[in-house]
Structure formats: C-alpha cells, structure tokens
C-alpha cells in the first residue's frame, strides 16, 4: 500500500553519515514500490526538504547536527499531523524509544538490526502501521516480565534485594535490619529464585536497569 496513489512510496532520508544514507538508498531502491526522493545530512536541511512536500515517509536519525532528530520529529508532526516518520537510530534505550514514539514516530528501528528490516519497516509505516524493532520488542517484553517479578517481592525482600544490589555485605544488611546473617542469606536465595537469577552480579544489573539503584560514580 502506498500513501500518494502513484504506486511508489517517496522516502526522505535524514542522517548525517553519507555512507549510511547510501546503504539505505541501496536497500530501498531494490524494492520497486520504494524510492528515495530526497536526502539531508542535518536537522535543518531535512526539515526544509520535508516542508517542500512530496514525502510519504521520512527515515530519521536522532543524532543530528543542529536541532537534533527529536526536535525535527516534533516539528514535522506539529506542521503535519499525518507525517509518517520511521526513526532509525543507534539509541535503543527505552527512554529514547518512548520519547520518539510519544512525539509521533510510527516506527523505531535499531541500526544494529538486520538491514532487510528497513524495507519492512518503511513499508509498514507507509501503510499507516506501527513498526517496532523485533529486538526492542523482545527487550521490552523481558523488561515487563522482570518488573512484574520485582513487584512480586515482599517489602522485606525488596529492601534486602536493594541492599544486596548496592553491594552491601550480608553482615551489614543483617545489622541494619536486626536480623541474623543466616536469615539474610536465606532471603537472598529466595530472591534469586523469584527473579530467576544466579548471583549478586545479575541482581545488581537488574536493579540498575530498573532504576532501583544508582550507577556507581566514575
């Protein structure tokens, strides 16, 4: 399905790396219903191309000189609510993905993903569908599952989990909670079982990802 009725989806590429744009162009031109009609290496130039019209899907990087990709996305969607934008970025952090989708991007693809996914993603966005990178979808599902597991900890288990994740010795945790070291060790075993992890290193990683503990100062 195409946006303009011509049978060809017209694509604008906005990325500050010429080699990356060349790769995108090659992949998209290998598909008869997709055509790159404009390119830009900066946020300002990309927005100017967008304002000229004749664009069905914009493939947008987030790390751009000038205003940056998120600001360009905001401007595009403010100017034209029907603008269809696929973000293709090296940033795969949940906060960045959520921000882009919240600003109106219909798709998000990681630069580390299979190149063939670009055609699938552009086609989906052109058809009015939302496309989220399968890698991100899997990571989100795992994150939701882990959040549910953490939520299932009792208040006492959660506090011990937090202190263990911060690297506090068992004996120190025991004194702070007026419990025996053996009791803390038993809690630790129960927590690892509930979270389906093997050791304290994994516990620390999970707590850091969930924002329960802060990253160590460097």
pLDDT, tens digit, 9 for 90 and up, residues 49-67? 999 999 999 999 998 888 8
**CA 11 – CA 24 distance, rounded (Å):** 10
Full domain range(s) for residue 181: 152-209
In this structure, is residue 215 part of a structural domain?
no
User: Could you give the residue ranges of the DSSP H alpha helices within the chain?
Assistant: 18-29, 43-52, 69-79, 94-102, 117-126, 134-151, 155-165, 170-177, 181-195, 200-209
**Pair of tokens at residue 99:** 């921000």
Number of domains in the chain: 2
Angle at 177 between CA 182 and CA 209, to 5 degrees: 90
195 CA to centre of own chain:
23
Residues 113 and 156 in one domain: no
Q: What is the pLDDT of residues 99-141, one digit of tens each?
A: 899 999 999 999 988 899 999 999 999 999 999 998 888 777 7
- Strand pairing of 131-132 and 107-110? parallel
- Strand pairing of 9-14 and 85-89? unpaired
Mean pLDDT lowest among 87-96, 101-110, 185-194 = 87-96
pLDDT for the residue 211: 74
In this structure, is residue 189 part of a structural domain?
yes
Contact between 191 and 164 (Cβ < 8 Å)? yes
Q: What is the pLDDT of residues 156-188, one digit of tens each?
A: 999 999 999 999 999 999 999 999 999 999 999
The CATH number of whichever domain residue 50 belongs to comes to 3.40.50.2300
Residues 19 and 120 in one domain: yes
Residues 161 and 83 in one domain: no
pLDDT for the residue 218: 47
Cβ within 8 Å of residue 62, ≥6 positions away:
68, 69, 70, 87, 89, 91, 96, 100
What average pLDDT score do residues 6-11 get? Answer: 89
Residues 33 and 119 in one domain: yes
Residues 122 and 164 in one domain: no
pLDDT tier at 209, thresholds 50, 70, 90: confident
């Amino acid at each position: 399905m195409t946006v303009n009725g011509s049978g060809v989806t017209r694509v604008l590429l906005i990325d500050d790396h010429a080699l990356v744009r060349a790769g995108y162009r090659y992949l998209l031109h290998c598909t008869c219903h997709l055509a790159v009609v404009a390119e830009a290496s900066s946020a300002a130039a990309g927005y100017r191309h967008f304002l000229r019209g004749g664009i069905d899907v914009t493939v947008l990087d987030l790390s751009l000189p000038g205003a940056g990709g998120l600001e360009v996305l905001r401007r595009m969607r403010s100017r034209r609510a029907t603008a269809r934008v696929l973000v293709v970025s090296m940033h795969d952090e949940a906060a960045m993905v959520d921000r882009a989708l919240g600003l109106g991007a219909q798709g998000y693809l990681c630069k580390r993903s299979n190149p063939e996914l670009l055609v699938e993603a552009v086609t989906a966005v052109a058809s009015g569908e939302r496309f989220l990178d399968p890698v991100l979808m899997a990571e989100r599902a795992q994150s939701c599952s882990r959040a549910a597991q953490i939520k299932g900890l009792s208040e006492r288990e959660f506090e011990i989990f937090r202190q263990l994740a911060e690297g506090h010795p068992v004996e120190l945790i025991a004194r702070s909670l007026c419990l025996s070291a053996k009791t803390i060790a038993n809690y630790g075993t129960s927590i690892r079982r509930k979270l389906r992890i093997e050791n304290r290193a994994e516990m620390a990683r999970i707590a850091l990802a969930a924002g329960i503990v802060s990253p160590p100062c460097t």
